[in-house]
Amino acid sequence: MQTIFTEKAPKAIGPYSQAVSIGHLLFLSGQIPVDPDTNEVVENDIVIQTNQVMKNIKAILESQQLSIKNIVKTTIFLKDMNQFATVNEEYSKHLGDHRPARSTVEVSRLPKDVLIEIEVIAFK
């Protein structure tokens, strides 16, 4: 197993890695909308937060010479399921015609009180 780290994505805020690689799989920890340059949560807006999360995911994938097309499964954690349609719209802009498997769940609270967190499994 290899631990993955890139300066282009937020540092872990606990005892975990941005991602780990094992065999042909890359497991990304849940990404929240933290700007890696400031280490601060972006605006409290679901569109802005979704786009920051996707940028963070892309940065980790690119650090391993991978892209969005390598994603096989995502799990989206939302603070408010009423924002599902908006998240879907922003999320799909990043995926283009790629359609990985996905689960979406509403949760009562996320780290740093963000509105969204997304975890990813990708293949290499």
User: pLDDT digits over 54-111, tens only?
Assistant: 999 999 999 999 999 999 999 999 999 999 999 999 999 999 999 999 999 999 999 9
Provide the CATH number for the domain around residue 54: 3.30.1330.40
Q: Which sign does the torsion angle of CA 52, 55, 61, 62 carry?
A: negative
Find the domain containing 95 and state its range.
Answer: 2-123
DSSP lists the bridge partners of residue 28 as: 19, 120
CB 124 within 8 A of CB 21: yes
- The count of structural domains within the chain is 1
**Chain-wide mean pLDDT for the chain?**
97
